Amino acid sequence: MERVLTALMDLVVPPASMVMLAFAWPTLSFLRALEWALKALTKEDMRGKVVLVTGASSAIGEQVAYEYARRGANLVLVARREHRLFAVRENARALGAGHVLVVAADVVREDDCGRLVADTISYFGQLDHLVNTVSLGHDFLFEEAGDTAAFPHLMDINFWGNVYPTYAALPYLRQSHGRVVVNASVDTWLPMPRMSLYSAAKAAVVDFYETLRYEVKDEYIKVVVPEWLSGMTRNHVGFARAGPQLQNKFATKPQLQWETLTIIRQITAAASAISHV
């Protein structure tokens, strides 16, 4: 009976979700475009501001860094792959970034997060935006995982990989009346099969930051959580560390085409809007 129910859910839920999305998407797209237009009229001047981007070696984090570079911001690029960060640094400079600091760190380690913020303050003397982009998805049914070895890693990347940098950065964001920007996901309010742990972690992230927003609102720290992101990208470092079971499952799936540019624009537009988000 259980297998029949699971098979039925696999057949019914994905098409039903897509039908719901098809009806809701035009309205959401209109609202998003309207919000984007309003924010474009009230953009924060990023010249001379200091922006720390986690996960900056590839995917969303790399592209977010380039968007800030185009606006003349000073950048702190954080990821585990230092050699990739040096390449991103050169590209960011060519796009108009001010000073660019590279910090090799693992955001799931609390001591690394303390160090990367300390390095930022030592070099620039301030921090204006913290942009958390680290993320790791998966594509398997929960009971198909084979073992639970990768479960803690998925939660570490998607939850603690956002919380630890925020904890370290808050005292300095308080001084600058700065912003915390978080890479959320549509999966927090539109659950999709085969992404149970990812969706749960992202939902925890959104709830955490929505609560934090109330806690720091009187200190003029803005918390930006774009929840309507229309896609995601694969985190290559997390993929490499996810273990054989997850790697094999990823390897059997075709490479998907993600709407990366839309995501980047949503994040940076929301992050640089003067009005409260």
- Is the backbone of residue 177 left (phi > 0), alpha (psi -120 to 50) or beta? left
The pTM score is: 0.70
Domain architecture of the chain: domains with CATH = 2-271 (3.40.50.720)
pLDDT, residue 84, reads 94
> Directed axis angle between helix 110-124 and helix 161-176, to 10°?
30
Closest by CA position to 84, among listed 104, 64, 67, 60? 104
Catalytic residues: 198
CA gap 113, 119 in Å, rounded: 10
Distances (CA, A) of 128 to 91, 108, 272: 22, 22, 11
pLDDT band at residue 246, thresholds of 50, 70 and 90?
A: very low
CA gap 171, 176 in Å, rounded: 9
pLDDT, residue 23, reads 61
- For the cut 50, the answer to whether the pLDDT of residue 259 exceeds it is no
CA gap 183, 167 in Å, rounded: 16
pLDDT, residue 29, reads 57
Mean pLDDT for the stretch of residues 12-33: 62
pLDDT, residue 234, reads 38
3-class state of residue 179 by DSSP: strand
pLDDT, residue 53, reads 97
In whole angstroms, what separates CA 201 from the centre of its chain?
Answer: 12
Task: Give residue-wise pLDDT tens across range 23-57.
Answer: 665 565 555 555 554 555 457 888 999 999 999 99
Q: Note the helical H segments in 44-150.
A: 59-70, 82-95, 110-124
pLDDT, residue 8, reads 65
- The better pLDDT of the pair 234, 207 is held by 207
Task: Give residue-wise pLDDT tens across range 155-204.
Answer: 888 899 999 999 999 999 999 999 999 877 655 555 666 667 788 888 88
Cα torsion at 143, 248, 53, 223 (round to 10°)?
Answer: -10
Mean pLDDT across the chain, nearest whole number?
76
pLDDT, residue 178, reads 95
Q: Residues of 207-242 as b/e, b for ≥16 C-beta within 10 angstroms?
A: ebbeebbeeeeeeebbbbbbbbbbebbbbebbeebb
pLDDT, residue 239, reads 37
pLDDT, residue 198, reads 82
> The tokens 């029949």 sit on which residue?
4
Side chain identity at residue 113, one-letter code? C
- Is the backbone of residue 224 left (phi > 0), alpha (psi -120 to 50) or beta? beta
pLDDT band at residue 68, thresholds of 50, 70 and 90?
A: very high
Whether residue 113 contacts residue 167, with contact meaning beta carbons closer than 8 Å, is answered with yes
CA gap 227, 237 in Å, rounded: 24
pLDDT, residue 80, reads 92
Task: Give residue-wise pLDDT tens across range 91-105.
Answer: 999 999 999 999 999
